[in-house]
Each structure stands twice: as C-alpha cells, then as structure tokens.
Structure 1
Amino acid sequence: YHNQLLAYGDAVRRLHHARVSSETPIGWWRWTVYYGAINEGEVLANGDWQAQHLKSLGYRYFQIDEGYQYARGEYTTPNATQFPDGLRFVGHHLIGEGLTFGVWTAPFEVTSRAWIYEHHKDWLVHNAKGDPIPIGDVWHQKTDVLYALDTTHPGAQEYMRDTYRTLVREWGVRFIKLDFMDTTAIEGYHYRPNTTALEAQRIGLQVIRDAVGEEVSLDKDGSPMLNPVGLVDTGRISADTGHSFERTKNAASGIAARFYMQRNFFVNDPDAFNVTPTHLMERANERSSISLGAAEASIALSAVSGGMYEIGDDMPVLGSEKDRLALVENRELLNMAKVGRASTPLDLMTYEPEDGQPSTFFIREDQRQAILTVFNWTNTTRSHTLRLADLGLPAGHMFAATDVLNQNETVTLEGGAVRLKNQPPQSVRVIKLIDKSVAEAAPTVTTQAPAAANTGEMINLSAQAEAGGVPAVAYHWDLGDGTSADSPKVHHAYTNAGEFTIRLIVDGVDGVPAHKNFSLKVTGNLRAHSNLVDNRRFVEPTDR
C-alpha cells in the first residue's frame, strides 16, 4: 500500500503542477516559543542568536508568527504596542543578518477591528440577508469577531494584492505562512455568483501567488490538503506541536499518514520541533514537560518527515542547554532534512495494538546508508526486532549500526536483524545502517556555468546532484574573485576582465565531497558614463 500512496502522490504532482522544487526551509518558527505575545526585542534577540550560532549549519529561515499585526485581515499594520519600530525595521535587520524573513498571515480572515470590516463589509462572505457571516472570535477573548473575506470581490482582491506586495517589496518577506484557510472555507453568498468555498479559496490563493511572484515561498497551514496544490510551496501535514511529549505523539499520526505528500503535493510542513522546556503554554491546562527523551522524539519526528525543519524554542535559552543544543546541531538529523525525502512509516496500517499508532520509519538515503527511526509512544518499555530483509536491504551484505542520538548506545545487529530491547517509554531510537560492502562516494553533480561573460554582466551558475545517487546536503562556490556562495543556484557579476577559476564543492551524505572547477573568461571594460539615449523606465513585473 505504500507504493499505491506514492503513485497517487506522483499523479497529483503531475496533474496539478505541484511546486516541489524549492529548497527545504530550515530555521526558526516562532509560534511555540512565545505564542501570541511576541515583541520586537524577543524577535531581534533570537534573530541575532540564530545568525551567529546556527546560520552556518543551514538554519537560515526566520518566521514571525501571529502577534505582530494590529488585526487579522490587516497585516501591513504592525501592532505598535509590541513592535514600536514596525516590521519593516525588524525585517530589514533580519535580512541584514543573512536570514530569510518570513511572516504569518491568515489571508482570508477579517476581524471586527480590521480596516476592511470598518470600511467595506461588502467584501465579506455574507448570508441571504446581506449580513457578513461570523465564524468565531480571536483567542476566545470575545473582542475581535472573525469573518471570511470574499476573495471573488474585485475590491478584496486589490486589497490582497496591496497587502502581499507590501510584505514582499517593502518588508523583504520571502516566506509567508497562510493559516486558517479551513475555517474561512465557508459556503455563503459571494460577489461572483454560484462560487463554492473551495473555488473561492483557490481564487484567493491565485491572487496572492500573482502578487508575490514565483520566488516567494507560500506555506499552506490550516487548510484542505489538495486544494492549494500548485500554488503553495510547503504544506502543513500535522496537528500543532508543542513543548510536551503528548503534543509530539499527537502530531505523529498525521506525519505518518501523509508521508507520500512530500515533494508530491508540496514540501511537507510537520510544524516546529521543541527541545527545551518553557513556562509559556498555548492552553491553560497544559504544562511543559519535555525530558531529553521527549526532546529527541520531537526533533526526530521532524527529521522523518523529510520536510521543513523548524526550531520552536527560545534560542538563547537553547544555547544555555548544551544537550538540547546538540540535538539541533546533530548532522545526521540535519542531513535527513537536507536530503528532503520522507521516511516511510513501515507500520502505517500494521502497527501493534500496544503501540497505538505508527512507530517505525525507514529511509534508504543512498546505496550505502539508511536511517531507521523507532518511536515508543507508550508509557511502558517496548522491544522490536526488525529484519534487514524486510527493510529492503540486500541479503548477504555486512552492515554496521550506530545510534544517531547517542554514540555510546549499543545497537544490537545480529541474525540479519536490528534488535531493540526494552526501549524506554516516551522515547526514540534513530539507527544509522551502513552497508560495509559499498564504498563511500561523492554526489554525481550536473552543473551549468558559462565559459565567457562581459564585465558587469549578471551570470547564472547552478548545480544539482543526480537523482538516485548520493544526495547532496550543501553546495559551496568559490567564485574566483574573492567572493563565495552556499546554495545550488548563484547569480554573480565580475567587475573586471580576466581569466577566473570557479571552484565548486558539493557535500554528500556519505561524507565525501564532489569537486568541480570551471574556467570563465570575462572581457570588456566598464564605462564611466552610460548612453542616455539607452535609458528606459523600469516597469515592475506583474508577477512580482
């Protein structure tokens, strides 16, 4: 049945032109850190810490969740109480640190304090009497009543365009979370007659995509799974996580059930992992109780998703707890995210009654190595025997096994099986399996680079690891003129003529890098003055 699900996912990818080629976002997601009471100082402190300590590992995304805005439905008006300098200032500071700036929105929600409600109630989905349909209130405080935006109304569409263009062009946002699209998918009367809720949602998403352009990542949060495919880049697949083992366990079944959506529907979003305790909890009846074992389970669950890899902790606090920081810096877990493929839940429909839900995940990263992840969701010890043949590993080969989370922990590998005895309650084991009959190898890399360029001309360089070979986990360019870059795609210009040697190093999961060198001849001289007759007025592209 796993292959049937993957075949369905592949069909969706092809038929709906899914956006699945973007990089995996790795970074900091704010909601489970401070919830709705985030302020400017907390954001800047975390951004500075991330840039100084984690950016070099690939943690480059930095997303500010709800709480920055004055009202839902009015996202370009910051909440001055908590952000006295506004979000443009904050965003530009983060971008200056080399981080990718992201924000949360609920694109089709409008509250009773928002500008739209005050000036254009006709832009809201309404009932037969012409009254806007209330759909709830914010945080149950009984002050801000919620309504659904009519995305078919020309005025509402122009407002959305202005909102998302402002976020992108003025604030520098490059990642936008789109939340509560499930609760706003209500049936009612729209400006365009006979429009269903899901049609209206799709229309609204198209307006947003057109406004932000192709280079900005859109993240589907609360929403039906299929409807946004082809318009969003990443998509939430689980319940909310939090600082407790119970939240991790609750999220795990959704991540298991939707493994086949990874890079078929979108890049999967498993929500943030949480590895440190906190005194802040989303619900009054919750308490933070996150042992080291629970922290390991939380981050391992994100890794098996193969999708977004999101820190959900106060980072200066994280830095003070070395055992928790070591989890965030764990190279094997990071590589699982960078490889970008979901681990298969082996017991998705066959899990033991004692386990209560799928608990065993497996991914073969390349011909040489594989990762086996086994959770114990229960309150008692559990034991498992997992035959290598059942994992699809070749018979007769010699394998070595190590514990990814604890190098001193013995892994029993005998009789062609991994034997996990008395795994502690509420814990995870992440086992790396190495086929010793296969030599370490570098990624096979395909590159595109020009052989010649003019001075001042912007050139494009790109590299991609061959599918089915050793996966790449990092790209490092030395551009030969004293500059460098760390991404698969690079845009660069040379300001003087000469012969340049461009050097590329591509790190792979086996630990053996690929090396490539390119020769580039740059000719021509820069001019002190342009020809005024060649001047043209710039016109902003409609898709940006």
Structure 2
Amino acid sequence: FATYERYYPAIGVSHEGVLEAFLDMESHPLEPGESLVGDWLYLGTCADIPKGLCEFADLVARQMQVQLKPWEMPTGHCSWYYYLDRISEQTVAGNLAALSADRDKLPIRYIQIDNGWSTEPGDWEANARFPRGMKAVADDIRAQGYLPGIWLMPFTAARTSRLFQAHPDWFVKNWKNDEIYGTPSLDFSVPAVREHIFNLFRRLSHEWGFRYIKLDAVIVNLAPGRHRDQHWTAVMNLREGYRVMRSAVTEDTFILGCTSPLAQSAGVVDGMRVSCDIFDRWEAVKDVFMRVFKRFYYHKRLFINDPDCLIIRTSANEDEECRRPCVRNAEEIRTFVTAMAASGGILMLSDKMSLLDRSQIELLSKLFPVNTEAAVPLDLMESNVPGVLDLGRRGRTRIMALINWTDVDRELRFEINRGHVFDFWSQRYLGLCDHRIRRTLAPHASALLFVTDDAPAAVVGVDDCLCPAVEQEYRDGVLTASFVKPGEKAMVAAAREIQSCEGGRARPVETAFGRLYEVTAVRGARTFRITFKPE
C-alpha cells in the first residue's frame, strides 16, 4: 500500500499465485448509499529488491507527506532491561553517575526512565519510589549534561485508574453495546480525550522538562470497535493520538513509538521500534535483527529506526537488582555490537553501568561516533536473517558486516572492486583483494571489514571505531589523513617506506601483504601527514 491512514492492510499470495490485497474494515456498518474509501494501493516491479524497497518507502513518505526533522541520532541509557519496573530515584542516580564518569568514552545524549515510575497506567503521576516527583529527577539529569527521557502508555488506562473510573465514556466501545472493547482504548474522536492528552504531554515536556518520550504498548491498546465518531477507525485513532501528543510537546522533544503499527505511524512520530523486545539469550538477538535488517528501508524515510536496546553484560556484571539475567557469551556479545552498528538507528544502552568493567566500556566506546545509515542487506532474498550487510562508504572506504546467525560454520561472501581489506575485530590487514571476498565464520560470529580504494598509500583501518569516516588524500608521495577519535591508531598500507610522519608516530607492523604502518596521534593531533621515500 502507498498510504496507511485509514485501515490495517494485508498483502497475500493465493495457492493459485494470485496476488491479493486486503483492508480490515473493522465491521463498520454502512448506511444505504454510503461508501467506504480505503488507502491507496501501489503495484510496481523492480530488478533490484533492496533498491526497490527504498524507492517504495520514498513513495509512501511522499504520499503521506512525511517531513522528518534533522535529528541528531538518539543515543542514551534505558532502565528497562536491567531493572524492569523496579526502578527508583536511586537507580537513576547510580547510572547517571557512572555514565558521567565515562562521558569521554560514551558520549550519549539521553537518560530514559522506563516503566516503573508512575502510579498506574492512566494516572501518570510519580509513585512512592520517586518522592520528589519527575520534574526533580529530570532536573538532576539535566544538571549532569544529559537530556531526560520518560516512558508511558498513552493510549490506555487501567480499569482501576482514576481516569477510567471518572471517564468510562472516553474509551472505545463494542459495536453492539456500551461495554468497553477489550483492553481500554482511549477514543481520540472525543474532544475531551484530545484535550486531556494534550495537557498531559504539555506537562511532560514543557513543565517537567522531558525531551525523549517513549510511547509503549500501542498496538495492543488500539481497539477496532465503536468510536464516538462512528466513521473513525483504529488507524485513524492512532494517528490522531500521535498528532495530539506531537502538538503538545516542545520542538526539541523526540517522540518514539514502541510496539506500534509501523507504516501507519509515518509522519506522526520521530522514531519507531522496528523489532521485538530483546531478551537474555542469543536467540533473542537473532529475532531482533531478523526484523531490523528486513525493515532497513524505513530508516530516515518514514521515521528513525529503533532496534531496541544493546545489552553487553554477563552474569559477572549483575547483582540482586538485575531482573533479566543474560547468558550470551563473548562472541555473541561482539556480534550483537556489530549488528547494532549496522542498524544505523537509535542506540540505547541497558546495563547497570557501574558494574561493567573497563574492557566492556571500551567495547561500547567503539560504537562512537555512531553510524546513522541503515546497512543494506545484500542477502535479503536468500537468508531469513540477513547476514551480508553493506554499511556503505565513508570517504574512500566501504564498510561490510558479515554475521553467521546459524549454529554451524558458514561461508559468507560479497563482491568488491579492487581494494585494501582490513578486519576490524581481529585488527588484521588482509591485503589487496579483487572481485570477491569470502569469509568462513564460526557459529554466532561476525566480521567487520573495511574495503578501501586501491592507492599507493591509504588508511585502511582504525582500532577504536566501528564506522569511521576517515578523511584522506594521497598526492605526489604524501598521505594526509585524519584521526577519527583522540588516541586512536590508524593502520596505513603503503607501497613505499616512510620518510617522515608529522602529527603521529609511525611504526612498521609485520604483515604478509606488503608494508603496513601503525600511526598513533601525538600531542592530541587530529590529522597526520606522511611523506614516503622516493622510489
């Protein structure tokens, strides 16, 4: 479909090979002579599936008049996957202190308080574990140089809440009687509901100061029943609700939809969870990225993709407060980090930060500066979980991620033009390669490869950033290049010996593939210049 503004659609293929398109009309009654108008259906063909999907998302964005703001990619910390709903002012303060101490390594932007802060759904007030109120907690976060974020379920209310008890007429009804349709679902065709939610979000953003608002459990709280306006649908209710929320907050407040209809939310949210929840085992990582990589084409067209949180802890980094013990091994964690970088989307950490050791902080730091472009899955039509991922070019370097999602050794391959190949995780230079790269990976393992255009001298790799944008130029025997991060090491492949190096210390590295030099910045230099000996 080319629009998603009225009904839930479905596309199928019959046993006879007939393409079928459906719209769920939600049992709306029709008066004599009345008609229902559905969403626009698009039929097209393409030879290149990934390219065609991107063009399709561009079409949907135009049809639905999506205008994305130029957001800095959200990065932050979310409380949910360590504490679940057992959070307090103390847990927020503890992670805030730990993150502040490592700000140079982990330059995140948001501290997001998840479920567990409120009295109950519908009555969005601080509970006893937040005795000073949420504005005071938000002020604490701002005082440390971060932006505060908060979680809520705005489309519903608990039946025991004061909101529900006072206004049962604000919720979607059954078609045949005035009973509530399933889980209470606020009816945004009711003017009083729109006013109530507007005032709630104005308080969250303008008064309390939250600048990242996560809206959860959306789809399960959208009832396809009878609204006050009987021409209203669940999708119309969703979009009107999001519009009201968006209109109430400050211009710099980021709205994230979570467990929400996807394309139906285009143009009315800033970011969208495009995966299931992450859980404790390897299989959960696989489930998450099966969805993330298949939905790559939504990213920065309909909204910013959210692949859910990154968790790198093991049992050694858990204490009695941990509500979700994790059992992934070191290889699986590294693959999780690789996949997160390849997603190009929102990066939210969700460990108890004070319990991570220095090697784990260093591992997380390699994600910065963050990649902001979704990798294109080159094996989209061959693999249930894509594992050949093209992260695109940064200057003269193409970045490729390979992931073996299976439980046996697997060969993965991709085509290249002639170039220098560097393996980031092993920090190994693999020489000049032509045409095709093949790698056999162990179960659950990953590789991140830099493929840099052939030149007499080039920066072919770095040691401290998964997706570096190295600026470099080789001319007349001189290589000029930038360091991406302070203190990092750049690997330079060259046909000739070095005569001098300004801005860095160069030392030769033993390799089977010609000359390789490790260049380390001196005195905080951000660029270096290497002059090579004449032939």
* Fold in common (TM above 0.5): yes
In 2 relative to 1, CA 283–57 (structure 1 residues): closer, same or farther, beyond 3 Å? closer
In 2 relative to 1, CA 197–512 (structure 1 residues): closer, same or farther, beyond 3 Å? farther
Corresponding residue of 1:379: 407
Letter in 2 for 1:118: Q
Report the number of matched residues. Answer: 418
5+ long unaligned stretches in structure 2? 1-48, 460-468, 473-480, 486-525, 529-535
How do 1:183-222 and structure 2 match up within 5 A? 183-222=220-259
Partners in 1 of 2:216 and 2:163 — Cα distance?
18
Shift in Å, 1:282: 13
Partners in 1 of 2:422 and 2:158 — Cα distance?
53
Corresponding residue of 2:379: 347
- TM-score by length of structure 1 reads 0.71
Does residue 329 of structure 2 align to residue 291 of structure 1? yes
Q: Give yes or no for contact 1:116–1:123 (8 Å, CA) kept in 2.
A: no
Counting aligned pairs with the same residue, the percent is: 27
From 315, 327, 338, give the equivalent of 2:353.
315
Corresponding residue of 2:24: none
Letter in 2 for 1:343: A
In 2 relative to 1, CA 443–61 (structure 1 residues): closer, same or farther, beyond 3 Å? farther
From 155, 164, 178, give the equivalent of 1:130.
178
Does residue 90 of structure 2 align to residue 78 of structure 1? no
Partners in 1 of 2:426 and 2:363 — Cα distance?
10
Corresponding residue of 1:254: 291
Does residue 197 of structure 2 align to residue 163 of structure 1? no
In 2 relative to 1, CA 322–66 (structure 1 residues): closer, same or farther, beyond 3 Å? same
Letter in 2 for 1:121: P
Shift in Å, 1:68: 0.7
Question: CA offsets per residue over residues 319-371 of structure 1, 9 Å max, x none?
Answer: xx2332222111xx33342xx111111101123xxxx5211101223340121
Question: CA offsets per residue over residues 224-265 of structure 1, 9 Å max, x none?
Answer: 111211111111111111332111101111111110111001
In 2 relative to 1, CA 281–74 (structure 1 residues): closer, same or farther, beyond 3 Å? farther
From 304, 312, 315, give the equivalent of 2:342.
304
From 21, 43, 51, give the equivalent of 2:70.
21
From 429, 446, 449, give the equivalent of 1:431.
449
SS at match of 2:85: helix
Does residue 185 of structure 2 align to residue 148 of structure 1? yes
In 2 relative to 1, CA 215–3 (structure 1 residues): closer, same or farther, beyond 3 Å? same
Partners in 2 of 1:67 and 1:37 — Cα distance?
6
SS at match of 1:37: coil
Partners in 2 of 1:14 and 1:376 — Cα distance?
36
SS at match of 2:157: strand
How do 1:417-456 and structure 2 match up within 5 A? 417-421=436-440, 423-437=441-455
Corresponding residue of 2:116: 67
Letter in 1 for 2:439: L
Corresponding residue of 2:364: 328
- TM-score by length of structure 2 reads 0.73
Shift in Å, 1:268: 0.7
Corresponding residue of 2:276: 239
Partners in 1 of 2:415 and 2:320 — Cα distance?
41
SS at match of 2:149: strand
Shift in Å, 1:115: 2.0
Partners in 1 of 2:339 and 2:320 — Cα distance?
20
Letter in 1 for 2:54: L
Q: Give yes or no for contact 1:60–1:100 (8 Å, CA) kept in 2.
A: yes
In 2 relative to 1, CA 232–425 (structure 1 residues): closer, same or farther, beyond 3 Å? same
Shift in Å, 1:183: 0.9
How do 1:463-474 and structure 2 match up within 5 A? none
Does residue 395 of structure 2 align to residue 359 of structure 1? no
Corresponding residue of 1:11: 59
Partners in 2 of 1:413 and 1:377 — Cα distance?
28
Partners in 2 of 1:108 and 1:281 — Cα distance?
33
In 2 relative to 1, CA 413–36 (structure 1 residues): closer, same or farther, beyond 3 Å? farther
Letter in 2 for 1:163: L
In 2 relative to 1, CA 154–473 (structure 1 residues): closer, same or farther, beyond 3 Å? farther
5+ long unaligned stretches in structure 1? 136-146, 389-394, 445-469, 475-510, 514-544
Letter in 1 for 2:180: P
Q: Give yes or no for contact 1:153–1:191 (8 Å, CA) kept in 2.
A: yes
In 2 relative to 1, CA 282–125 (structure 1 residues): closer, same or farther, beyond 3 Å? farther
Q: Give yes or no for contact 1:402–1:411 (8 Å, CA) kept in 2.
A: yes
Partners in 1 of 2:272 and 2:67 — Cα distance?
11
Partners in 1 of 2:73 and 2:116 — Cα distance?
25
Corresponding residue of 1:460: none
Shift in Å, 1:383: 2.3
Q: Which moved more, 1:241-250 or 1:263-272?
A: 241-250
Letter in 2 for 1:270: P
How do 1:456-467 and structure 2 match up within 5 A? none
Question: CA offsets per residue over residues 161-190 of structure 1, 9 Å max, x none?
Answer: 121111112221001111122112211122
Q: Give yes or no for contact 1:370–1:434 (8 Å, CA) kept in 2.
A: yes
Corresponding residue of 1:518: none
Partners in 2 of 1:336 and 1:401 — Cα distance?
22
Corresponding residue of 1:87: 134
Letter in 2 for 1:89: A
Question: CA offsets per residue over residues 483-520 of structure 1, 9 Å max, x none?
Answer: xxxxxxxxxxxxxxxxxxxxxxxxxxxx769xxxxxxx
From 264, 268, 291, give the equivalent of 1:227.
264
Q: Give yes or no for contact 2:421–2:433 (8 Å, CA) kept in 1.
A: no
In 2 relative to 1, CA 247–20 (structure 1 residues): closer, same or farther, beyond 3 Å? farther
Shift in Å, 1:414: 4.1
